[in-house]
Structure 1
Amino acid sequence: MQGLMQDVPLTITHLFDRAEQYFGHKEIVTATGAGVERTTYGEWAARTRKLGGVLDTLGISAEGRVATFAWNTARHLELYFAAPCSGRVLHTLNIRLFPEQLTYIVNHADDEVIFADKSLLGLLAPLMSSFERLAHLVIMDDGPTSGGDEIPDGLDANGVQVHDYEALLAAAEPVQWPVISNERQAASMCYTSGTTGNPKGVVYSHRSTYLHTMGAMMADSLGARESDVILPVVPMFHANAWGLAHAAVATGASLVMPGPDLSGPAVAKLIVDEKVTVAAGVPTIWMAVLPELEGKDTSSLRSIPCGGSAVPKSLSEGYREQLGLPILQAWGMTETSPIASVCHIDADQSLLSIEEQADLRTQVGRISFGVDARVVDPETMEPIVWDGESSGELQCRGNWIASAYYDDERSSESFTDDGWLKTGDVAAVDERGRIRLVDRTKDLIKSGGEWISSVELENEIMAHPQVAEAAVIGVPHPKWGEAAVACVVRVAGEEPTAESIIEFLDGKVAKWQLPKGVIWIDEVPKTSVGKFSKKTLRDAHHDHLMDQ
């Protein structure tokens, strides 16, 4: 017997229609080099429909890839919806990738047009001659920058036609969106950060984005709602801004777009001035923001989602002590759209001591509704018991989890024969389904036959009052095969010693896990998405212990 319910395609158009019809009065704020710009969802929707007309005028094919090279702005949000709602595919380009990686993904995705912020053209201009199919470049004026207002030469290489965004929009007619009957049609694509080899393309469908948006609206997830003022500091070119751009539009939440200035003072000012309720970003952002919020009115804040890399316990507790609001740790990947778990404290756990709750918040939380997860031995694929201690490779599946990479032979390496995503994370899961990440498989350190978690050591070291940042790497050791070394950034004006760092760890971790050395650095190198680049550190310091 079949159910007698209507079958309406789950498409991004529905999200747009809600914002246009119900929330036209709500505000979208963008911080630019010229100051704060304000618009409404009603004005945004009208411009987005005209942008659909621009794509027609430019002759972008029915399923053509529409690339963006831009900061978080209202214009970028117009592209977020005009491309998929018109049946095309949005392709967000990561502005922090290496030049050869950008060339690879533009050509691999067959991008037909790039919409680029003027302030970023200096990064794009040298690469224009390497783009094979690109026919159009549309320049979006994002205001004055420290680099000046001159347009670089070479943007028209290979016959690419160069346009002004506002001029195209002024000449365009608004369009009605086509009916998208196939909810599994591609809506957008995003490439991984490419820390090993070329970036890999993840293609999101209308259906997956719709369902992920609903997931982001759940109370036990990010809980996006109409009353929110959402500040996505996480870039729109990275994993769909964690779904917050779509969720804000769907719920009618006000949006605050940070533009190019992601410094601690700039982000803190937006939080205070715009009365932000939800502010999402990676740990390095919140390290810089916390001191800027001291003494400021942050009473509007209800949630600080944080992910991308492990949230140090000291950082989360710093926010709890100063703002009365600990960081909300979440976990996901480009391949998981990305929300796959969120760390809320259970009702009975709210009765635990402050220290016990702080320990729980170092986890990445319970597996999200809509996602299945398992932990297995990566060699035998045998399941690992969920006791909170036993660890193995974390694998996921679900309606917003990738099933393969776009046109890439490496798919077989990252997906199991029975359809699960191999996340590359080593994790332990407890009986409540709460995930504790042990480390990335490539960052685990095997010393004397025993595994050391770099994440655990980093969390402990960053609690040291004289430490600003720390990354732990494994390097070759003549006796132990591999040993842990701590790469440490001092707090300005402080002079901790290597001995004081090791002594601080004594009693917090097993003695055999203690770092065999400390390297003082000015800054922990970051990947294109703001994570610690431990590969860079390993390459630079691989021989550090070989004479010991």
Structure 2
Amino acid sequence: MRGLMQDRPLSLPHVFHRAEQLFGHKTIVTATVTGRTRTTIAEWAVRVRRLATALDTLGVSADGRVGTFCWNTARHLELYLAAPCTGRVLHTLNIRLFPEQLVYIAEHAADEVVFVDRSLLPLLLPLIDKMPTVRRYVVIDDGADHAVPDDERFLDYEELLAASEPFEGRFRVDDENTAAAMCYTSGTTGNPKGVVYSHRSSVLHSFFTLTTDGPALSERDVVMPVVPMFHANAWGLPYGILMAGADTVFPGPNMTPDAILELLASEKVTVTGGVPTIWMGALPKLGEHDLSSLRTILCGGSAVPRSLSEAYREAIGVPMFQAWGMTETSPIATTGTARSHHDELDEDGRADMRARQGHPVPLVELRIVDPETGEEQPWDDTATGEVQAAGPWIASEYYRGEGGGAQFTEDGWLRTGDVASVDRYGSFRLVDRTKDLIKSGGEWISSVELENEIMAHPAVAEAAVIAIPHEKWVERPLACIVVKPGQSVTKDELVAFLEPRVAKWWLPDAVEIIDEVPKTSVGKFSKKTLRDKFSGYRIDAPDSTG
């Protein structure tokens, strides 16, 4: 017996038409090089319709890849809808990748056109002759003073839209499983790998952003995605904002702590999201701004230090709202919301709860598996294993089938490379990345947990822990720390601080003071860079004790 419900595709045209029809009066604010621009969703929707026609004019094929090399702006949001709503595939290019990686990605995805913010032209221009599939570059003028080449391949965005009539009627994508967007992983070894999101996965993930145990976006919110729109579709926030009908604030090219905090305050933002390094940089300046409108600070991309979350709670009354996932999980797979069994906890216990990555969100299934035996591990908050994921917005393979053998299990689960333990209520606690664990004397040391304890020291701004070869113990931890301005800390002082907090054999054998922890293209700590920097380091040497 079949259900007698209408069979309508879960596709992004629904998100567009819902926003256009119901929320035309809501605003979209963008901070540009020259100041802020304001528009309404109704005005924005007309521009989306013009852009849809323009993609035809540009000759983009029916399922052609539309590259974007842009900041978080209203113009970028126009591309977020115009490309997939016309059957094309949005391909957000990471502006912080190395040039050779950008060239590889653009060619691998076969981008046919690239839309680029004028302020980013200096990064893209040296590469254009190395991207043979790209026939047109469309420059979005964000006020930057960079010359546009006198080259027939380059077009002006506003002129293109002005010459295009708005698409009439309703957009249609009949097959919900067709590609809507693609992003490339940035943290894997070898070449980046393409993750292709379907219309179905994007719509389902957008629904999740409206749930109470998720970001809980609503029509009453003012949302500012600080996480880049070129990184895993800004955690699904752009589509979720449109589905909810919230007001939107985009930070544009100025990503300094002062600029971000000023926008949060002046636009009375209620929900924002970004990686921990963003919020670390803003922490010393919180007292200079009125952030009383904020109710949620979504934080993810890497484990959120307990000390960082508590510092925000103490300063503005809003701790971090932790989420976990990766490009391959669209990306949100868990959220750290408080549950009823946490009600009796004291403040210290609540802080510990918030330091966990939290529970699997609806429609996502997770398990932890011993990477050597393949056996599923118990949820007793003691056993650890690699996190594996399954669900309707979890990748099933990479674009062109590359690298799939190592990343996906025989029964179709995604191997995330993260190691965690899980309590009996299903709350995940990230232990480490499999490649970042430190094997000392046959026992594992979690670099993430050790970093969190180091960053609780009042003189430490940032900390990253890596494994260093050791003659007796195979590997031992090296702590690379950034000291706060005007502060100091010695190795002995740091070890004394850690002694009551971690097992004795976890204590770092060496401490190095560095100017800053290197970051990846999406703002995570780059331990690979640190491992390369200290590749010749030997803890046994008498002059290498920090």
TMscore range, shorter length: over 0.9
Match of 1:516 in 2: 509
Q: Is 2:156 aligned against 1:164?
A: yes
**What residue in structure 1 maps to residue 10 of structure 2?**
10
- Hey, what does 2:142 align to over in structure 1? 142
Structure 1 residue 384 displacement after superposition:
0.1
Q: How does 1:433-512 map to 2 (within 5 A)?
A: 433-512=426-505
After TM superposition, give the deviation of residue 379 of structure 1 in Å. 2.2
Paired residue secondary structure (1:363)? coil
**How many residues are aligned here?**
540
Superposed, 1:39-438 pairs within 5 Å as 39-144=39-144, 148-151=145-148, 156=151, 161-176=153-168, 177-438=170-431
Q: What TM-score does the superposition give when structure 1 sets the normalisation length?
A: 0.97
Q: Give, in angstroms, the shift of residue 448 of structure 1.
A: 1.1
The one-letter amino acid of 1:287's match is M
What is the distance in 1 between the residues matched to 2:495 and 2:539? 20
Give the residue type in structure 1 aligned to 2:53: G
Q: What's 2:19 paired with?
A: 19
> Displacement of 1:150 after TM fit?
2.7
- Seq. identity, %: 59
* Residue identity in the other structure for 1:262: M
Give the unaligned 5+ runs of structure 1.
Answer: none
CA distance in 2 between partners of 1:517 and 1:71 (Å)? 40
Q: Matched residues in 2 for 1:546 and 1:341: separation?
A: 37
Deviation at 1:132, TM superposition (A): 1.8
Q: CA deviation at 1:195?
A: 4.1
Q: In structure 1, what residue type is equivalent to 2:333?
A: A
For residue 373 of structure 1, give the secondary structure of its aligned residue in structure 2.
strand
Which residue identity lines up with residue 49 of structure 1 in the other structure? R
How far does residue 478 in structure 1 lie from its aligned partner after superposition?
1.8
1:544 Cα offset (Å)? 1.9
Do the aligned partners of 1:476 and 1:542 also contact (CA within 8 Å) in 2? no
Contact 1:215 1:370 survives alignment (8 Å): no
Deviations 1:221-272 (A, max 9, x none): 1111111100100000000101110000111100000001111111100110
CA deviation map 1:177-200 (0-9, x unaligned): 542110101000000014411111
SS at match of 1:217: coil
Q: What is the CA distance between 1:295 and its match in structure 2?
A: 5.0
Task: Measure the CA separation in 1 of the matches of 2:495 and 2:69.
Answer: 44
Cα distance in structure 2, aligned partners of 1:405 and 1:391: 27
Q: Secondary structure of 1:382's partner?
A: coil
Amino acid at match of 1:22: L
* Mapped partners of 1:546, 1:217: distance in 2: 50
Q: Is the 8 A contact 1:425 1:437 kept in 2?
A: yes
Partner of 2:544: none
Letter in 2 for 1:359: D
Deviation at 1:129, TM superposition (A): 1.0
1:135 CA displacement? 0.4
Deviation at 1:430, TM superposition (A): 1.0
Q: The residue matched to 1:489 in structure 2 has which SS?
A: strand
User: Structure 2: which 5+ runs fail to align?
Assistant: 542-546
| Aligned AA (1:167) | E
Q: Secondary structure at the match of 2:283?
A: helix
Conserved 8 A contact 1:87-1:178: no
In 1, are the aligned partners of 2:13 and 2:171 still within 8 Å (CA)? no
SS in 2 for 1:150: coil
Over residues 36-87 of structure 1, what are the superposed CA-to-partner deviations in whole Å (9 max), with x where a residue is unaligned?
1100000000000000011010010000000000000000000000000011
Note if contact 2:262-2:289 (Cα within 8 Å) is conserved in structure 1: no
Quote the RMSD (CA, aligned, Å).
1.1
Report the residue type matching 1:77 in the other structure: L
Partners of 1:30 and 1:175 lie apart in 2 by: 25
Which letter maps to 1:388?
D
In the TM superposition, residue 287 of structure 1 has moved relative to its aligned partner by 1.0
* Partner AA of 2:227 in structure 1: V
CA distance in 2, matches of 1:179, 1:283: 39
Q: Quote the offset at 1:542 in angstroms.
A: 2.1
Which aligned runs of 4 or more in structure 1 are off by greater than 3 angstroms?
none
For 1:125 and 1:295, locate their aligned partners in 2 and report how far apart those are by CA, in whole Å: 39
Provide the rounded CA distance (Å) in 1 between the counterparts of 2:285 and 2:164. Answer: 43
